[in-house]
Every structure is written in C-alpha cells, then in structure tokens.
A and B are shown apart, each in its own frame.
Chain A
Amino acid sequence: MLMTFERRRWLIAGTLGILASSWLLLSSGPVLSDWRLPLMWLPGFGTPMSELELTVVTQLRLPRLVLGLLVGAVLAQSGTAMQTLCRNPLADPGLIGISGGAAVFALAVIALGEQIGLQGSIWVSLAAFLGALLTTFVVYRLAGGKTGVDVAILLLAGVAINALAGSLLGLLSYYADDDALRLMSFWQMGSLAGASWQQLPLGVVLMGVSSIALFMLRKPINTLLLGERQARYLGVNTVSLKRQLIIWVALGVGGAVALTGMIGFVGLIIPHIARILVGANIRWLMPVSMLFGAAVLVLTDWIAKTIVAPAELPIGIITAAVGAPFFIYLLIQQKRRLHAGY
C-alpha cells in the first residue's frame, strides 16, 4: 500500500523534527551554546560539563523542552479532535474561546487566590481545566444543532467568549497586585519561560491523561468524519463520545494554559498542515499532528528566546504572527470550498 508508506514517512519526519528541535533547544541559547551540550553527560564526549553548564541544561532547558513538547503535542491533538468533532478545520481551541475561558479562571485564582484562600499551582490548573470545560461546553452547545455544528456560530461564539474573557481579564488586572499583573500580561501572550521541574509533574499528569485518552478514542473519533449520524449508525454512542471528547480536550488545553498561558493558533495550523500531508484519517492525522506540534512548538520556543536575546519574546506573539495570516488564508479557502465535504 503506497498510501501507508507515504504516511509513515511523515511520522518519521515528525520524529526527526522533534529530535532536531530538541537538540537545538538544549544546545543553544542566549548564554551557552555548544552543539555537544546534549551529549556531554555521556562519558568520553569531550570535556565533562561545568557546574554552570549542568545547571543551564538540566534545570533550565530540559524542563522547558519537556513542557514545550507536551504543550505542542497536546494543543495540536486537541485541535485535531475538535476539528473532527466540528467537521471543520477552523475549530481551534484558541479561536473558539477554550484557551480564553481557561485563562480567565486560572488568572482569577492567581489574582484573587490570596483573598479566597486558593493558592498554589494545583488550584490554578484546576481552575484552568474548569474554565476550559465550561467554555467548550457553552461554545459547543451554542453552535450545535440538529444538522451538526454551525461554523459561523462556532466562530462567533469564540469571538464573544474571547471578548468576555478579555474584559474579565481587564477587570482582574484592576484587582491584581504588581506581581500578579506581570504574570498576567505574560500569560496572555504565552510563554514557556516559567518551566521548572517543580511545576512539571502536574502538567505532565493533566496533559498526559488528556493525550492518552484522546489517543485511545481515535477510532470512534474517526467515525465522526462521516458525520454524527453515520457514526451512530456505525455503532458509536455519539452522546458519550462527544462528552468524553470535550472533557479530555478541556483537560489538555486547561493543563497547557495553566502552565504556559495562551499560545494561539498551534491547534489550527498544525492539524491543517498534517491533514494536507496524510489526509483526514485520525489514525494517521492524530499522531502526525502531535509529532509536528511538539517539534514546531519547541522550535518556536527556541526562536522566541534567541531572536531578541538577551531578552525573550512571549512565544504566543510568534505563533500569532504566523497563525493569524494563516487563519485568513483558511477563511478564504473555506469561502472557495476547495475541499468539499470537509
């Protein structure tokens, strides 16, 4: 089967992309750059690491790499799942307001946590998950109808929720102290700079659970390609499937937002490119999207921290700079209805 061979090639390409971008992130940065850095812990590879090198690589770059890989994979995977559920390539967790909803809840805990007695990263993550869950549910209910999801309403609901999120964030910033304010402004643009081994376990659990659960559901999700009704005819309990899908997407996106803020457009662009390469079959689309998402986010993160060194750009600025024009391009393409049936 030629098809399988072609698609497998993109799995390999994605894996190589991850290796290459990981190497780049581990070995170079504003302070220490040496291509041998990722190998120096091996005996016999040049000079042993100095104390500084060891700290930079294992305490700064490695947790950042792990977080980047995880967030990239989860955002792309959630995008794939939402796009298949809505049968539309514009259903990105950021655009339809899931990230915004997560951010409002999480930032409420950051800004007001002291007053309401909920402090610590576990509450921030939990709030982000609840915010994501609530917005996904609301958006899906608003846009859903007898004949499936209405895309215009889906995007408009996203606009409304993002606007509401924006105003609530503004309100929160009014009550927040200086530290919280700094954190909030960084959050709204997304950044992986805060990665540390202390906060990683929670994120790994949240996003890992979401990712594994969605991956296990890929066969039933695949039947949604033929429409909800046909999925039911094929034997899928679509009510339960949709519920699970929304919960796992909310958990994954909530987890990602809690740790890195709002990184937009990854869930839009990556699945779209992957779909052009391997087609809409989730069996291939989901793993290829995850690999590409992880590789691209790590690469973008490396750009974010080197392009204006020694300062650092929030990664969300870069993904938005690339993503927004791409979104416009997709809109034009939708208008022309190049791909009938999707």
Chain B
Amino acid sequence: MLDIKITHVNYSHKRLLGAFDLSLEAGEFVAVIGENGAGKSTLLNTLAGELDYHGSIQLNGRELTSWIPAQLAPVRAVMEQKLSAPFGLTVAELVGMGRFWSHEPDYAAHQRALNWLERLDAAKFAERTMDTLSGGEQQRAHIARCLCQLDVTVPGEQMLLLDEPTSALDVYHQHSVLAELRRFTQQGNLVVAVMHDLNLASLYADNILLLADGELKHFAKPEAVFRTEILEQTYRSPVYISEHPSIRKPMIFTEPRHL
C-alpha cells in the first residue's frame, strides 16, 4: 500500500534520512522506534509529504508528490507531535474539522465527531474548549479528529500517521486508543505510529521499524526486533527480555541507573 524506495532525504545540505526500501501493507500497524533524534519524526514528515525526498514514495500505487491536499485528505490523516489547542475552539468543533474535505453540512460533521469522541471515551468533554483540556485529553481529541477525517463508507487503503499518539495517556486510555487503531488497521488500513513505549509497541504493532541516525536498521515482527543485543545497542542500556504471560509477546525490562 505504501512503497518507499528512497536513497536519502536532505534538508539544506544536511542528511536527515538514509536509504529506505520497504513496503508497508494495508492492514498493518507499524511502530517506529529509536533513540531521540534518530529520525522518527523526520520519517513521518517525509511520509506525510512535507519533506523533499530522492527516490520514490508511492501511496496506493501513485507517487506521493502527485497528490493534491484535497485528494490526500480522505486517505491520509496526520497527528503531529506538537498539538494545537486553539483558544475557545470546542473539542467537537476540532474533531469536526477533520471533515473539511467532505463538504458535508456542519450538523453531519458534528454528529460524526460526537460518534468518534464517544468511541475514544471523550464524549464527556465534547463541548469543552481545547485550551481547557489536559494534555492527555487533547491527545485523545486529536486522535478522534484523525479517525473522523478518515471515516468513509468503504474503509481500506487509508493511512494514518501518528507521532507519539499515546505519550500523554494513562494506562486505560493507552489501551483504548491502541485498540481503536488496531480496529482501524483491521479494516484494511495502514497505521504508522512513532512510539517510545516498547512494551505497548510489542503488544499492538505488527511490525517494528527501528531507526538509528536516520538509517533503517530493522523492519520486522516484534519478536525479531526486540532482542537483547539489538535493544542494548540502540538504547545503550542493559535490557532483559521476557514474554507476556498471556499473549506471548516480548516484554522489555530495563535496569535502573544507580547513582
């Protein structure tokens, strides 16, 4: 569904990303992991079409640069790391803005927004304004906005790019949001999410994309990437790997640093 064959991405003569050659399939949940500054957000920005790349990135068989914003909006939504919280804009209005491309009437967009807020356990603050919400609530509102944007009658072949979607969420909402994203991939869509919580990535992602210094190091199932030697090299810390007691996924334990 998303075919990436690039040699590099430069920005004002600085090399940001190296060569990538991989295909992300519809129905896949890809977690992008790596150190701070490894190029995770840069990769996401590139996939969002914000950075000039050398090579080819094809979304549904069509080069990314040949899409115009209005065509991309129904098939691709992006949640940036830094979330905006405009003064006096209600949550339902924010989520409804996702429907901009559809030209549907305001009340229809509003109804759809309320549905998505309901599904993300956010209905109770639907009429509150964005600037009055906590960080985690703002995050859920923006995830609802992305899902509302991609809400179409015949789902499939859609792409959702998320930069740390669960960084401000409590345990309950981490799982409810990630479950919602899984449901989205099961409809034949692609999710690419930058994540720092390796255990959550292990539990929910189909494939892990590990970056270091802008280079693609690994792209494989969690079982193949979450290995002691790989993670110790990436994160420069001692790592123990065990298995989740019920679903048999790798669980990562780290060592506290002693003073």
Contact = CB atoms under 8 A, between A and B. Distances in A.
Interface in A265-299: 275-276, 278-281, 283
Which of B97, B101, B127, B130 counts the most chain A CB atoms within 10 A?
B97
A283 B88 CA distance: 12
Contacts of A233: 48, 69, 72-73, 76-78
B100 A219 contact: yes
Interface in A228-250: 229-230, 232-238
A234 B73 contact: yes
A234 B97 contact: yes
B234 interface: no
A136 to B, nearest CB: 23
Interface string B64-78: 000011101110111
Interface stretch (A100-108, A125-133, A334-342): A334-342
B73 A342 contact: no
A280 B73 contact: no
A279 B69 contact: no
B176 interface: no
A222 B109 CA distance: 15
B97 A279 contact: no
A230 B80 contact: yes
Contacts of B149: 234
B98 interface: yes
A40 B98 CA distance: 53
A1 interface: yes
A341 B131 CA distance: 8
A220 interface: yes
Interface of A: 1-3, 219-220, 222-223, 225-227, 229-230, 232-238, 275-276, 278-281, 283, 339-342
Which 7 A-B pairs rank lowest in CB-CB distance, beginning with the nearest? A279-B88, A235-B73, A235-B101, A341-B85, A225-B86, A342-B87, A280-B86
Interface of B: 48, 50, 68-70, 72-74, 76-78, 80, 84-90, 93-94, 97-98, 100-101, 106, 127, 129-131, 149
23 contacts: A3-B90, A219-B100, A220-B100, A223-B100, A225-B84, A226-B94, A227-B80, A229-B50, A230-B80, A230-B84, A234-B69, A234-B149, A236-B69, A237-B68, A237-B70, A275-B87, A275-B88, A276-B88, A279-B86, A279-B89, A339-B131, A341-B85, A341-B87
